[in-house]
Structure 1
């Protein structure tokens, strides 16, 4: 027996806001969270912009003694998890059994800020001055570990590291965990904090990021002919998934239903995506959901704003959807949030749930001249009021990792 799985809570920490209503308002109004980087010297960097979070205090969410032992990505995960639990009106041990409540929160890179700082200490002051908390602060699984510790969730507890597919894989694996009956509730999503000197340097050296430094808000332009790379973001997106039985029994507010999850591997190239891999992930998710391609009304695209990546995804959508590709709305909200890497899937699944809730589609901003090769309905520059029953979210990561999540408007 497969258990139906629903979303009952969501928490987002982004450059567009930390409150769901504010986040959604900014998103549908086309507001950008991208600006010049202020917290580090970018004089020698080709890219000087990012979707940085400037108004975040970890002490609003965790005790000072705990915050000092956490990397920034864990701060974000803790905050988003607390918001999601509050949104779901769920406290572990009261509305759910601890042993039946699990956590899967991933990070594509993990504690890069901590690694940088401690490496500098190693080089300047020697090994004896390196923090004893270096390793537990740096490792990517600590978002799940920390959230489990602070919430009392004693069920399945693991993490996912699949680069930019991380958040979607974490949600998908949580969906599977509940579906097969191994948990009643899962706290899941992704978190990332890599707007650091070495993080920026690495992506700059790859020439993967936009250098439109004079127009930060217009730099991320998925599907536009003049796109020149992605813009890095940071933050976290965490969801509360529950079995339908559990949610109904406790009288939870059900936001949407998770109905499909698909994965695939490109087996092609370290960083160059293969459209076939994207197509297979979407086809697998559609088959898992037991729907047809014509049932999908909206796709939240991976859409990073790189010349190669956007075109590859469009080809993948055309391959997976056939003629219906011309009739489905496809938008990339990374044009406003930037690319949260391992946190992207969490944020974008939340966006799909909000799309179903509000019956509005957030736009792809900065499409001044749509690439003729990206000739789908990319909802350019303005939100759209539209009936949406089924929404699909794509996430693709370096190494050829592809993950697709499908949500449906909840119907009893």
Structure 2
């Protein structure tokens, strides 16, 4: 490959993945608005079909709100074992085209196809063949963005959804970015987009017009990234060995809780979920964070970093309980708790896993949303 030639990056994004799997496996759901999640009063939508999205249903929407927007909405419980199995099928297809695959989640990934392993001549043809194989082998559709860097490829994959593809060439990249709202940019969340709007930045062109010094004054260490993407620049490689930065689990309770035993039991249940992943992945972190969301949607977190990684279940339990007890007794009803482990290193478990600790209450803490 010519070191000076543009890279060929594809971002593949499955279309409404969880909901599409459910519609594929249950023909009675096809063409109907489907939400993956819990219909309970405290439930949350995990994913929505395109029919549901047309009615204003989105992921992370409270179930009661989703049902108000779409009374005919059909809820199905998530089947993550099935979604993971389908994801493995899709990644096996990717591997026929490149070794440079960087998964972002079960349903999307970056592929660097600069080497053109299948001699298809263009990244466009490669993306088209990959999407066709996904449809044939899984019965599901995917969209793709093709460009010379990851930032533009991810933006491009949204351009022709569902079941389409779009390319941003080096010649069109900088001008194309200028016409887009900054709220679409990867790395610009709702809070940052609102801040940018207050500063007169609503499009890529507005962002590009701001000097680096201005961006540094208002956005600190993120300024360099914003300055680069406003010009269509992104030098990040597709990294197949990109380490996961954290593992977390959270649950929404069926009702707001004030009882300490019930709240602690919920935290321990989430700690157990996280420990299961850490043990399976052999990834152990030094930082434990507990998240609390109150009934009025106020949210707080409590974190503690240790000198060494948490390498047993009991250590994680103890750290999680210490953090949640720092906010107990609850001043108001708690609707959600979560536990996250981050700051991973190369630590290994300290011998066999200890038995599961008994929760402080035998009552089931909650159903996961």
TM-score (norm 2): 0.29
Structure with the larger RCO, 1 or 2 (CA within 8 Å, 6+ apart): 1
TM-score (norm 1): 0.27
- Who wins on radius of gyration, i.e. which is larger? 2
